[in-house]
Amino acid sequence: MRPALCEDALRIGRILAQLAPKEPEVHGLVALMEIQASRSSARVGASGEPILLLAQDRSRWDRLLIQRGFAALERAELLGGALGPYALQAAIVACHARARMAEETDWARIAALYDALAQLTPSSVVELNRAVAVAMAYGPEAGLEVADRLTSETALADYHLLPSVRGDLLAKLGRFEEARNELERAASLTRNARERELLLERAAACARRMLPPR
């Protein structure tokens, strides 16, 4: 996390929105940054360990930044026309921000928004994010089917989040040995020490599930 850099980005984005008030993508970008910044204090634990989105304490999310983000997204939508890439991403993070509890997240809408984003700006990373949303909305098997299609993508060959996502989905399907292998591979690819620890912990949890009952 680089809080000062985030603050600079927000400040510049707000100035840009004042200079170009009729550009929906400018407001979409500001909305995306405001809502993403709202989660900053909840993303890292006391020891510096990363806290995944669904495990974050949502009471620590900055409600003022969220409301600013909602307002910016509404301005983008009111300007009319199809939403651009920034506004679509802002709509996705807004779904998370509206859910007071992780269980209330509208994953079907998020999956639909990723469908639209993938059509507008197709990329392997967008498709991987769509796999997660599909899994949350329609089950891990459906999400794994999307993620499996990405294993031959050269752009993701060294991207640790692909085996991380696959490992998580395999674990949810009870395929713990495969899940452990994927999570260990993800740990070997990340350059972030804290993230590596988290991935290895998840791999170890899968290994324990593989032990025969005593």
Look at residue 214 in the predicted model and tell me its pLDDT.
55
- The 8-class DSSP code of residue 41 comes to G
For the segment(s) 109-214, the CATH number from 3.90.79.10, 3.40.50.1980, 1.25.40.10, 1.10.10.10 is 1.25.40.10
For the chain, residues classed under CATH 1.25.40.10 are: 109-214
CA 129 – CA 86 distance, rounded (Å): 15
Question: Per residue in 159-190, pLDDT tens?
Answer: 999 999 999 999 999 999 999 999 999 999 99
pLDDT class of 49 with cuts at 50, 70, 90? confident
pLDDT value, residue 76: 97
Long-range contacts of 39-43 (CB under 8 A, 24+ apart): 40/1, 40/3, 40/6, 43/1
For residues 184 and 13, give the distance between their C-alpha atoms in angstroms, rounded to a whole number. 39
* pLDDT at res. 46: 85
| Alpha-carbon dihedral 168, 108, 112, 22, rounded to 10 degrees | -110
**Are 112 and 95 within 8 A, CB to CB?**
no
What's the predicted TM-score (pTM) here?
0.91
**Which amino acid, one-letter code, is at 202?**
R
- Predicted local distance difference test score (pLDDT) of residue 212: 66
Mean pLDDT of the chain: 95
Q: What is the pLDDT of residue 1?
A: 73
- Please give the average per-residue pLDDT across 62-88, as a whole number: 96
Determine the average pLDDT of the residues in 194-214.
88
pLDDT at position 177 is 97
